[in-house]
Amino acid sequence: MKTILGVDPGLDGAFAWLRRVDKGFELIVRDFPTVVVKKGKTNRREYSIAELKQDFQNGYADHAFIEKVHAMPGQGVTSTFTFGEGYGIVRTVCAFLETPTTLVDPAVWTRVVGLQSGATKGEHCARAASLFPGYAQLFRGPRGGLLDGRADAALIAWYGIAVLGA
């Protein structure tokens, strides 16, 4: 059985390994590893490339599906650059590990997993919880907040399994 890696890039994104098992799915979800770096008088989160590489090596995948990201109107220059940086880091780590990779547009994967165009973060989390009921707690934070990066990573992995027939 193939193990599929779904990736929602971004500092608040996540990645998920998914594979079919006898009566359902086995799902492992991780938030993007970050480090806090002091920049002048402020602290900033940055991607931990070494941790990401280690996570991807330890959680071997037969194929990775990465959300194809692009700049969004109204998004700040710094956040757009950081988002693009994460996207590039993920693609580079997958290439380094020789993991076959497919870039998938958000409009495509969301439609295939059963979400309407413009679905809310809550709808993404609810859909992930319905597909993976045994893992529903992964998509809610300790205070009830939504962890949509995790939900999206799991949904992108599910998209990959659907596309590959794995």
Rounded percentage of the chain residues whose pLDDT exceeds 70: 91
Q: Which tens digit of pLDDT belongs to each residue from 108-135?
A: 999 999 999 889 999 999 999 999 999 9
Element (H, E) at 25: strand 24-31
β-strand pairing of 63-67 with 42-47: unpaired
By the 8 A CB rule, do 86 and 32 touch?
Answer: yes
By the 8 A CB rule, do 5 and 16 touch?
Answer: yes
Give the contacts of 140 (CB within 8 A, at least 6 positions apart): 125, 146, 147
The pLDDT score that the predictor gives to residue 72 is: 61
Domain span including residue 119 = 4-164
Q: Range with the lowest mean pLDDT among 13-27, 62-76, 146-160?
A: 62-76
The pLDDT score that the predictor gives to residue 138 is: 93
Element (H, E) at 124: helix 121-131
Q: pLDDT band at 22, cuts 50/70/90? A: confident
Any idea what the CATH number is for the domain that residue 106 is in? 3.30.420.10
The pLDDT score that the predictor gives to residue 144 is: 66
The pLDDT score that the predictor gives to residue 135 is: 95
Return the DSSP state at 151.
H
Q: pLDDT band at 10, cuts 50/70/90? A: confident
pTM of the entire structure? Answer: 0.91
d(CA 32, CA 150) in angstroms, rounded, equals: 9
d(CA 68, CA 25) in angstroms, rounded, equals: 25
User: Is 70 exceeded by the pLDDT of residue 107?
Assistant: yes
By the 8 A CB rule, do 131 and 155 touch?
Answer: yes
Tally of domains within the chain: 1
Q: Which tens digit of pLDDT belongs to each residue from 70-88?
A: 666 666 666 677 778 888 9
